Amino acid sequence: MVRRDITGFDTVARIVDRLSTIDRYDCLLGLIPTALTVAALVGQVLDLPTEATLLGGVAIALLALLDGLFFRPPTGLQGT
């Protein structure tokens, strides 16, 4: 059995490296399910109709989608 020394790993630096690679389009893609989930939770808490709350979530998700695809689309390969 081989023993490994794990004290040399700098976990904070690795987390910062991962977070520095997140760009605008990653945030837009994350906003789509987040908007739907938050809308569904708000609808449950405030006892609103499901259709109304999900329509609000879809409106926010649609704005993120339109922004990422048409209003400010990617201009080329990023990060290569």
Rounded to whole angstroms, how far apart are CA atoms 71 and 63? 10
What are the structural domain ranges in the chain? 23-71
The answer to pTM > 0.85 is: no
Question: pLDDT 10s digit of each residue in the chain, 80 long?
Answer: 666 656 656 777 777 788 888 888 899 999 999 999 999 999 999 999 999 999 999 999 999 999 999 998 888 776 55
How many CA atoms, within 13 angstroms, populate the side-chain half-sphere of residue 2? 3
How many CA atoms, within 13 angstroms, populate the side-chain half-sphere of residue 80? 3
